[in-house]
Amino acid sequence: MSAKKIPIGLVGAGFMGENHLRNLITLSEVTIVGVFDSDPSKARALAEKYRVPPAQSLHDLLKQAEAVVICVPTTAHYDAASEAVRNGCHVFLEKPFTHTVDEARSLCRLADKYKVHIQVGHVERFNPVIQTLLKSVRYENLLMGEFYRYVPLRKNIDADVLLTLMVHDLDLILRLADQMKTSPVRLAASGRTVYPEEMNRGLIDNAMVQILFDSSFLVNVHAVRTGALHRRKIILTETDRTWVADLLNHRLHLFTRLDRHTKQVDHRTVEIPATSPLLEEIKHFVSSVRTGRPPLVTQHDGLNVMKFIERIRSKMKTGSDAE
């Protein structure tokens, strides 16, 4: 006898929602019970394109679904996710977790109260380049991390560069710190608004953050959505080795100094599995719903990143950390 299919709904019929739907419909253990969007015409168009039913309202969708995938603008994350949780639905919520840290705290309390799982869409956790990097680095020798994320802004947006770009790297940095059993103790941060307000609502476009830990570990993070450069790169420096993860080109490089008294360096390119991070992320969510096991990236991970972002914003505004 075949296993019962999991009824899943999609909330948000934009570009990101379509990407998730395209992957969801490839999974044999899933049935799409509806697509909802605040713009009914978008929901109908997407539903027709992928031959799934449109939902007349979020309430109607949640009555049919055991789980939902939410891909709405950041400022709408909390309202959509909290309603889903109150209806007993497991939630996949695209990054960033929420728009504010207070919303993140509230959503965590709701998930605990209604005993549902929330998976936060930090898709880089499922990137095979990063997965290989995190398995290969020698944490006891790790001294410095450099994170570069340059994605030129192409549309009006409702969140700053910390929430749209840097959020990925902050999640990974907290993961590294957890593996090293170290904690951030001091921040230096700066940010600038560049684009006109009608394009970005007066929000920060470029940001640089330096993080010192209660160990020898030091991190620099760059998030830039001006200019014309596309770059997603991570450099991790150990005592005698350097890892360079080129996320745009799906490459991981290892540089090893042959001897401390020479400039000779061995370079090799590490073999990376050919998998789709988004598909693997969605498969993981479906597995979590089916088995009842917590997802890899929980609501508490999302909250920790939002707390970190609040500290960074406080440093940018006042020069002091907000705990």
**For position 153, what pLDDT does the model report?**
84
* Token pair belonging to 1: 């006898």
Residues paired with residue 118 on neighbouring β-strands, in sequence order: 91
Q: Closest Cα to residue 166, out of 178, 188, 183, 149?
A: 149
Q: Tell me the pairing of strands 218-224 and 144-150.
A: parallel
- Between CA 299 and CA 112 the distance in angstroms is 10
* Residues 160, 104 within the same domain: no
Domain that holds residue 213: 127-274+309-318
**For position 322, what pLDDT does the model report?**
52
* Residues 109, 191 within the same domain: no
pTM: 0.93
H and E: helices and strands count for the chain: 11, 13
* Residues 55, 160 within the same domain: no
Q: Count the domains in the chain.
A: 2
Q: Which residues of the chain have pLDDT under 70?
A: 1-2, 319-323
* Residues 147, 221 within the same domain: yes
Q: Which of 85, 116, 147 lies at the terminal end of a domain, its last residue?
A: 116
* Residues 110, 159 within the same domain: no
Which residue is it, tokens 């088995």?
291
Tens digit of each residue's pLDDT (9 = 90 or more) over 210-236: 999 999 999 999 999 999 999 999 999
Report which DSSP code applies to 163.
Answer: I
CA atoms within 13 A on the CB side of 58: 21
Tell me which long-range contacts 201-207 makes (C-beta under 8 A, separation of at least 24): 201/157, 201/158, 203/157, 203/159, 203/160, 203/161, 204/160, 204/161, 204/162, 204/316, 205/153, 205/160, 205/161, 206/161, 207/160, 207/161, 207/162, 207/166, 207/312, 207/316
**For position 1, what pLDDT does the model report?**
40
